[in-house]
Amino acid sequence: MTEIKETNSRTGKIALALSPGGFIGRDVLPAAPLLSVTQRDGQLHLAAAGAWTAPHAAELEVLVDSLATELAAAHEVAIDMQGVREFDTYGAWLLRRLTRAWQERGQQMRIAGLADRYQGLIQEVNQATVAAAADARKSSVRDGFEALGRSLSVMGRDFVTFVAMVGALCLALLAATKRPRTFRATSTVHHLDRVGWQAVPIILLITFLIGGIIAQQGFFHFRKFGADEYVVDMVGILVLREIGVLIVAVMVAGRSGSSYTAELGSMKMREEIDALRTMGFDPVEILILPRIVALIIALPLLTFVGSMAALYGGGLVAWLYGGMSPEIFVARLKEAISLTHFKVGLIKAPFMALAIGVVAAVEGLKVKGSAASLGLQTTTSVVKSIFLVIVLDGLFAIFFASIGM
């Protein structure tokens, strides 16, 4: 946009106009400038014309704001709105801005020629009180401390809600053992199908590949020392103690933990959980307990299945890549591993399942009304449960080392 500002020395007339450039075509644009200014003996005469509407608001604002110096120099101001064909909230607002700047100095501005049908609009806009944007910037050091404090208190509260959820689960479980009929067996089986049975193919595939990769890497590097046969020890121990359960837990956290959070979160959003509560049911007992029980049953089973698939993958790679016959692999595996290794892996599984389930439930119940919050909570659920799974694994490693398993 180019601004044309020409001054006629004799009349002191300044014409302000902007070249056509709005999004409406030229034919719709007003021929006369939106605002033209005549100056005489300190008296400022403003003549408005054309369409004072939303499409022209941007140009109008530039014109109105550019008048600040002329307004400051003037003793008296009159606005003639006769030429205005169209007028809307945007025009009314800018007219208000024009008059406000003047009125703040305690002087009156005459507005003439505005059609009666727009008077209501002017009044409506003048009633609206709008404070200037508060631009309060705090010091960055204080901001930093504030953020730190906030995140610490959030962490503290998260821990409390986690423990509270475990407590609520224990209570629900206690109630279910007292009155076994109240336990939702159907729901549990349904969730067992979803998180257990339906997860088997993907778990098999992934652990099979991981087992194969470990064996391949083992052969590639151990061969340099002539220690080929120790690959079997590595694959066996690593898979049974750590990798099998970790991979499965991470998969389940991403696959089932996220869906638990999303389900519970959308139920929370649609007030289904509140509805349950008002009917005298405990949402923990009805919704959360069956899900977590299903997870606690499913994860050890999936770990077993996954570990077997990983060993199979390792054996296959040993045969095809390492040239070790299956008979030797199995014989070597029998020597290398004991039941202890198997138990160490499997004992961890239900605890990881509990952590995943509780985190998923807690995050699901934290969902507020918006779709964005559902997404945020689901992400948080997956990130937190994977983090907790790794932390638990570390704690178990210390524990098993100290009891000599």
Report the interface residues with another protein, using CB under 8 A: 23-24, 53-55, 57-58, 61, 88-90, 93-94, 97, 117, 120-121, 123-125, 127-131, 133, 368-373
Cβ proximity to another protein: between 1 and 331 the closer is 1
Task: Give the ranges where 179-237 is alpha helix by DSSP (H).
Answer: 185-195, 200-222, 230-237
Cβ proximity to another protein: between 82 and 370 the closer is 370
Q: Please give the C-alpha separations between residue 367 and each of 160, 164, 254, 295, 370, in angstroms, as whole numbers.
A: 17, 17, 18, 22, 8
- Beta-carbon contacts of 353 under 8 Å, excluding residues fewer than 6 positions away, are 249, 252, 292, 295, 296, 298, 299, 300
- Give SS3 for 372: helix
Cβ proximity to another protein: between 44 and 94 the closer is 94
- Give SS3 for 38: strand
Contact 341, 241 (CB under 8 A): yes
CB of 61 to another protein, least distance (A): 5
The closest alpha carbon to 76, from 38, 122, 19, belongs to 38
CB of 371 to another protein, least distance (A): 5
CB of 175 to another protein, least distance (A): 33
Distance between CA 216 and CA 203 in Å, rounded? Answer: 20
Q: How many CB atoms are located within 10 Å of the residue 233 CB? A: 17
Cβ proximity to another protein: between 19 and 123 the closer is 123
Cβ proximity to another protein: between 82 and 123 the closer is 123
CB of 93 to another protein, least distance (A): 6
CB of 57 to another protein, least distance (A): 6
Cβ proximity to another protein: between 59 and 285 the closer is 59
CB of 266 to another protein, least distance (A): 13
Q: What are the b/e assignments for 168-199, b being 16+ CB within 10 Å? A: bbeebbeebeeeeeebbeebbeebbebbbeeb
CB of 12 to another protein, least distance (A): 29
- Phi, psi angles (nearest 5°) of residue 174: -60, -45
Cβ proximity to another protein: between 98 and 252 the closer is 98
